Chains A and B, each alone.
Chain A
Amino acid sequence: MTAQAGATHPTSHDHAHDDADYLRATRGFRSWAMTLDHKRIGIMYLVAVLTAFLAGGIFALIVRTELLWPGRTIVDPDTYNKAFTLHGAIMVFLFIIPSIPAALGNFFLPLMLGAKDVAFPRLNLASFYIYVFGAIFALFSIVTSAVDTGWTFYTPYSTQTGTAVIAMTLGAFILGFSSILTGVNFIATVHKLRAPGLHWKRLPLFVWSIYATSVIQVLATPVLAITLLLLIMERALTLGIFDPRLGGDPVLFQHFFWFYSHPAVYIMILPGMAVVSELIATFSRRKIFGYMFVAMSSVALALLAFLVWAHHMFVAGMSEYAVMVFSGLTFLVAIPSAVKVFNWVATLYKGSVSFESPMLYGLAFIVLFTVGGLTGLPLATIVTDVHLHDTYYVVAHFHYVMVGGTVFGFIGGLHYWWPKMTGKLYNERLAQIAFALVFTGFNVTFFTQFLLGSHGMPRRYYDYLDQYQPLHGFSSFGSYILGVGFVIMLWMFVQSLMRGAKSPPNPWGSAAFEWQTSSPPIAHNFHETPIVTRGPYDYHLATEEELYTGFPEDRVERVTAKTEKEEG
């Protein structure tokens, strides 16, 4: 591979040619707005989802602050109901679902495959603009009267409330198209654009997981689209599909909704697992233990995701036998999840483990996802779910899976690939301080909520009984620590962009394929199509040059000096 060419022959801004990195290859607003480069589209998605994350985070802090004390603290009940609805809807539809696949996936999937771009570059750009279009609808709903239904839009409340349900659901409907088109594009890319020698057993686990995610996106999202259209028609035309006064069935909406939204949970968590597999491998210098089991467990999760939707409805009035069947099927999901955790831990065994900030997020992911997974067991068990359903226990559980899982995976991936994307290093000390705050704040906020929930505190409550105040106060306190952690992280990344040191091509000494090109990559990714001769984690087959050329100068010297000392 001619991987380091881009770095060893830096190009001038004035006459861009083939060797220019993707950030400088062409210039001007139009060159970004109309770009077909998957890397630039990935960066645009990244900016968009981080903006959404910021907005969703602000709504979260409004919610937590209102809950500091019983009764009115800062907002009235209507505003509170809108705040938690917008927090949920923005975080799910605008942040978590597109975060890893659309931002990091767009950037790295073709690099990992040794391809020049995704299979359909124009469709890729279209997906981004459809996302923006959907976000505008959501924004329109927020500035008109917002929505107070909860992100699930359960009928009949959603057909009766006077708020902007139609604008918000149309937004989610449009975002669904973006999701489907990205999924189709990735599936085609994985099938058709793998470099010579990159057979399925050599695919990076990131690719396996994103592939499984794409399959769910393509199969499940249309159901959400139809459900939301039915809801819009119900509101606008009074069709009576869900309205019992007209012969409809309100529980039918829940079946439709969760038939999408349960698989959507795996659209959220599989990409987090994808990133973590890369982090564990790179920072342990070892191939993931049980590679094929980890890869196949992603596929198994994608398939099982379609069979368990009604576990959200154990107390909704379903028949006892339906409840039994869905409880049983739900337990099956635990198996592939557990297999992944065991294999990640086993990968550390006999590895060479280092603890840079991306790895800290990777290890935190294992711990937090384990908590999230284990606390799912009482929710799968019927009789304990009856007690815990729709309490703060559930809130805590899914935040451990989605924040402890997906968001930690996403942030870990962002730290890991930041030098590749921007060509800049960041302040590792600040990154570790931010990690400590985020990890502490997260656990204080959400572990407390397990206790609140098992005590019986229901969710989506503006007001609560005095007995819950100490735990609510503690949880809100944690959310402020979490917020400070994210602000420091933001500052660290901005600082890196402004005056970060130039990154070598392979700062972590990774054997994975995307590190074999320059940082940032040239516009066409690789000078010539790479020929793949080993797996992405085959450290024993990787050449010293592949692993060490990319190290920062002082670190190469340090490692070399220490090695010589020990050998001499």
Chain B
Amino acid sequence: MDEQEYITHPTTQLPPQLSTFAPEVDWVYDFIFWISVVFFVGIVAATLYFMWAYRRRPGVKSEPTGHHNALELFWTFAPLILLVLMFHWGFQAYMVQANAPDDAYNVRVRARQWAWEFEHPNGITEDNELHVPAGQPVRLIMSSSDVLHSFYVPDYRIKRDAVPGMFTSLWFEAIERTDVTPEGDLSQPDARRVWYRNQVFCTEYCGAGGSWGDNAGHATMYAQILVQRPEDFQEFITNPPPPMCGDHPCTPPEWGEQLFSQKGCTACHAREEGAPQLAGPNLHGLFGRQERLQDGTTVTIDDAYVRHSILEPRAQVVEGFNPVMPNIRFSEQQLDALVTYLQTL
């Protein structure tokens, strides 16, 4: 295949076509685009010509307007044919997107303010990153734990809302790219090898927390789809690599710090002394601190309180804060790492 075909779209500057849907969607878009160009040029050219040809001249009067019902009927019904075509092709292509193949690889997606969590069928979870195999249909089954979000991948031409209280789904198949070489030793399957990446946006407005930090809420609710060669993906999913911090596997506190930002905690919790007030308490010098709770009791912050507050965030809320923290899922190992990290603050 011609390399350029992936990179830019010839006429309308749509993003690269990296899913199997993209060429068909773009074809419909091009059809509408060129019809529009023809109509626009026709209308503007006629307007400009009439403006010039019938500009006001002394002694020349306007002619009385006649009737022309045939002309009216023509330009009422002729465009209708083009519109029916647009509707038809648009709907036909959509029905392909609406029905996932039976053999699709199912991934659960949980959206929350302001992060995406992905869960593979074997229970492995990822935050703001989703590994998928190229050349195989992937179905996303989405839910939201708070407000509306919308999952959008421009390179795939897919988008669908994640709605609290219901499941929505969509599917895609990332194409195999012959023009891109995955990094690493290609003779061995490697769980860390990524073929190419695609940006995921949230396109349903979902608010922002506090002032500007690492996380600007809706505007930074990004994720990436990491497309792998099928054999690399098999390796990743059966034998996931340890979390990496730079060039070495993470120590527990390093992993905890990574999780802290991956899970979106930075949006509501400052970690520096004297930082501006966010939606949740500042975590600087957390352990051993005395806090008054909403029910009037006082606790000393310890390992047990922190774990309980992460698992059931609305049970013991510190006085002066609203019970707005979401339930965030952690594995036992992740929780240990996070608590180890929080102790260092």
Please pick, from A157, A290, A327, A354, the residue contacting B205 in the complex, using a CB distance under 8 A. A157
Q: Does A402 contact B (CB under 8 A)?
A: no
In the complex, which residues 370-423 of chain A have their Cβ closer than 8 Å to any Cβ of chain B?
370-371, 374-375, 377-378, 380-387, 389-391
Is residue A196 within 8 Å, beta carbon to beta carbon, of the partner chain? no
Which residues in window 54-77 of B have CB below 8 A to A?
54-65, 67-68, 71-72, 75-76
Docked pose: A29 CA to B28 CA in angstroms: 61
Chain B, residue nearest A390 (CB): B203
Contact A323 B94 (CB under 8 A): yes
B100 CB–A CB distance under 8 Å: no
In the assembled complex, the CB of B199 is this many whole angstroms from the nearest CB of chain A, namely 7
Interface-located stretch among A132-140, A201-209, A242-250: A242-250
Cα–Cα, bound, A378→B31 (Å): 10
Whether the Cβ atoms of A156 and B152 lie closer than 8 Å is: no
A315 with B150, Cβ < 8 A, contacts A334-B83, A455-B15 known = yes
Closest to A456 in B: B154
B13 touches A451 (CB 8 A): yes
- B 140-181 binary contact with A (CB < 8 Å = 1; else 0): 000000111010101101111101111010000000000000
* Nearest CB in chain B to that of A251: its residue: B163
Q: Is residue B44 contacting chain A, with contact meaning CB distance below 8 A? A: yes
| From B51, B59, B90, residue with most partner A Cβ within 10 Å | B90
Residues of B contacting A244 with CB < 8 Å? 163-166
Stretch of A170-178, A343-351, A478-486, A492-500 on the interface side: A343-351
Whether B54 contacts A353 by the Cβ 8 Å rule is yes
Q: Does B300 contact A (CB under 8 A)?
A: no
Verify if B211 is at the interface (C-beta below 8 Å from A): yes
Q: Which A residues are CB-close (under 8 A) to B83?
A: 331, 334-335, 377
Contact A327 B91 (CB under 8 A): yes
Please tell me if A473 contacts chain B, counting CB pairs below 8 Å.
Answer: no
Interface residues of A in 283-301 (CB under 8 A from B): 284-291, 293
How many residues of B are in contact with the other chain, CB < 8 A? 88
A559 touches B205 (CB 8 A): no
- B58's contact among A331, A335, A385, A563, by CB below 8 Å, is which? A563
Are A374 and B79 touching (Cβ within 8 A)? no
Residue A161 at the B interface, CB < 8 A? yes
Report A315-336 residues with CB < 8 Å from chain B CB.
Answer: 315-317, 320, 323-324, 327-328, 331, 334-335
- Distance of A250 Cα from B150 Cα, bound (Å): 14
Which residue from chain B places its CB closest to the CB of A283 in the assembled complex?
A: B56
The answer on a CB contact under 8 Å between A157 and B163 is: no
Taking a contact as CB atoms under 8 Å apart, the answer to whether A328 and B87 are in contact is yes
Min C-beta distance of A193 to chain B, whole Å? 27
In Å, the complex CA distance between A562 and B47 comes to 27
When the two chains form their complex, are residues A374 and B158 in contact, meaning their CB atoms are under 8 A apart?
Answer: no
Contact A370 B44 (CB under 8 A): yes
Q: What 0/1 readout, one digit per residue, does chain A (237-263) give for beta carbons within 8 Å of chain B? A: 000000011001111000000000000
Stretch at the interface among A17-25, A36-44, A457-465: A457-465
* Residue A454 at the chain B interface, CB threshold 8 Å: yes
Residue contact B50 to A382, C-beta cutoff 8 Å = no
User: What residues of chain A lie closer than 8 Å to B158, measured between beta carbons?
Assistant: 386-387
Q: Which residues of B contact A125 (CB under 8 A)?
A: none
Within 8 A of A (CB), among B212-233: 212, 216-220
Q: A339 contacts B72, CB within 8 Å?
A: yes
Q: When A341-B43, A345-B47 are in contact, do A381 and B87 touch as well, CB less than 8 Å?
A: yes
- B310 interface hit (Cβ, 8 Å): no
CB-CB under 8 A from B87, the residues of chain A are 327-328, 331, 380-381
Interface residue? A519 (CB, 8 A): no
Does B14 touch A at the CB level, under 8 Å? yes
The interface centre, meaning the residue of A291, A458, A460, A538 with most chain B CB atoms within 10 A of its CB, is A458
Residue of B nearest to A342 (CB): B75
How many A residues are at the interface, by size bracket?
35 or more
Which of chain A's residues have a CB closer than 8 A to the CB of B152?
390, 456, 458
Q: Is the CB of A335 within 8 A of B207?
A: no
Complex partner residue of B207 from A76, A81, A323, A353, CB under 8 angstroms: A81
| Interface contact A461-B64, CB-CB below 8 Å | no
Given A77-B212, A289-B65, A465-B199: A455 touches B56 (CB 8 Å cut-off): no
Q: A77-B217, A160-B146, A315-B150 are in contact. Are A562 and B91 (CB under 8 A)?
A: no
Q: A72-B212, A465-B199, A540-B64 are in contact. Are A250 and B164 (CB under 8 A)?
A: yes
Minimum CB distance partner of B29 in chain A: A384
A538 and B212 CA atoms in complex are apart in Å by 62
Query: In whole angstroms, how far apart are the Cα atoms of A363 and B46 in the complex?
Result: 12
For A461, what are the chain B residues with a Cβ–Cβ distance below 8 Å?
A: 218-219
B246 to nearest A CB, angstroms? 23
B119 within 8 A of A: no
- B39 contacts the other chain (CB 8 A): yes
Asked whether, in the complex, the Cβ of A351 is within 8 Å of the Cβ of B54, the reply is yes
* Bound Cα distance from A354 to B168, whole angstroms: 56
Q: Does A162 contact B (CB under 8 A)?
A: yes
A120 within 8 A of partner (CB): no
Interface residue? B306 (CB, 8 A): no
Q: Which of B43, B161, B322 contacts A162 (CB 8 A)?
A: B322
Is B86 an interface residue, CB under 8 A from the partner? yes
Chain B residues positioned under 8 Å from A367 (CB to CB):
43-44, 47
Residues of A within 8 A of B50 (CB): 345, 348-349, 351, 353
The answer to whether B58 and A456 touch across the interface, beta carbons within 8 angstroms, is no
A352 in the interface (beta carbon within 8 A) = yes
A154: interface (CB < 8 Å): yes
- Contacts A323-B94, A386-B94, A386-B159 known; A349 to B54 CB distance under 8 Å? yes
Asked if B206 CB lies within 8 Å of chain A CBs, one says yes
Is B304 an interface residue when CB atoms closer than 8 A count as contact?
Answer: no
Annotate B25-58 by CB proximity to A: 1 below 8 A, 0 otherwise: 1001100110110011001101100110011111
Nearest B residue (CB) for A391: B203
Any B CB within 8 A of the CB of A566: yes
Complex-state Cα separation, A338 to B98, whole angstroms? 32
A154 engages B205 (CB within 8 Å):
yes
Does residue B208 face the partner (Cβ distance < 8 Å to A)?
A: yes
Q: Indicate if A552 sits at the interface (CB-CB under 8 A).
A: no
Is B201 an interface residue when CB atoms closer than 8 A count as contact?
yes
Subset of 14 A-B contacts with CB under 8 Å: A77-B219, A149-B205, A160-B324, A342-B43, A352-B57, A382-B93, A383-B94, A386-B25, A387-B157, A451-B13, A459-B203, A462-B218, A562-B58, A562-B59
> CB within 8 Å of A: which residues of B?
12-15, 24-25, 28-29, 32-33, 35-36, 39-40, 43-44, 46-47, 50-51, 54-65, 67-68, 71-72, 75-76, 79-80, 83-84, 86-87, 89-91, 93-95, 97-98, 146-148, 150, 152, 154-155, 157-161, 163-166, 168, 199, 201-208, 210-212, 216-220, 322, 324
- Give 5 nearest A-B pairs by CB, closest first: A244-B165, A456-B154, A381-B90, A562-B58, A348-B50
Add 16 more A-B contacts to A455-B154, A459-B205 (CB < 8 A): A76-B211, A77-B217, A148-B207, A157-B207, A244-B166, A250-B148, A328-B91, A348-B51, A353-B56, A363-B51, A382-B94, A384-B29, A387-B157, A390-B150, A456-B152, A562-B58
